[in-house]
A and B are shown apart, each in its own frame.
Chain A
């Protein structure tokens, strides 16, 4: 978790509200992936990013490699958005992804 720091560690959201999650990198990240791990443990792909932004429905993500951070915005949160969100970065020196510790999101009615 030192090389990829996620904040906050946990988040409680009311349905319909918006929020943002952040990852700061102390490695020279070249690409970033965001995942949602559901309560059963499955890791679902949300975004794959080179520097820039992407949007998919109510989710929007940005990656700034110069400032070494990435964000994930959740708009109009729904109950099914609950789970643990992970960001993972890759640099030019490794094949694998380096993960953060995750942000546990709970959406309540």
Chain B
């Protein structure tokens, strides 16, 4: 059974619209993260949450807003979508907080903005 669930698997959006990417982990982990993988760029760290609190934000744009309704949920809301936002978005989690622990990645949501 998948331990980190990301929904949807694929997403097509129009420029200017808003989408929410869902992530749920069933590993009992206390920290969750979002990363982005764009073409020809390294995977980029975006956010980390620990016990539902924002710990680190490396995303310049306020159009990206993480939302945590439960400890094992960390959704990503993206507003005013642009074609440059097209990427695969990975959710990850780790047992330990503070980043000093193995991070496990979900299967990703592939977003295409037209």
Contacts and interface: CB of A to CB of B under 8 A. Distances in A.
Contact of A35 (B41, B44, B99, B105): B105
A4 B46 CA distance: 17
Given A94-B56, A95-B99, A96-B35, A43 B48 contact: no
Contacts of B107: 41-42
Interface residues of B, number: 26
B104 interface: yes
B108 A42 contact: yes
A36 B89 CA distance: 17
A1 B48 contact: no
Chain A interface extent, by class: 20 to 34
Given A1-B42, A43-B90, A95 B104 contact: no
Interface of B: 31, 33, 35, 41-46, 48, 55-56, 58, 88, 90, 98-105, 107-108, 110
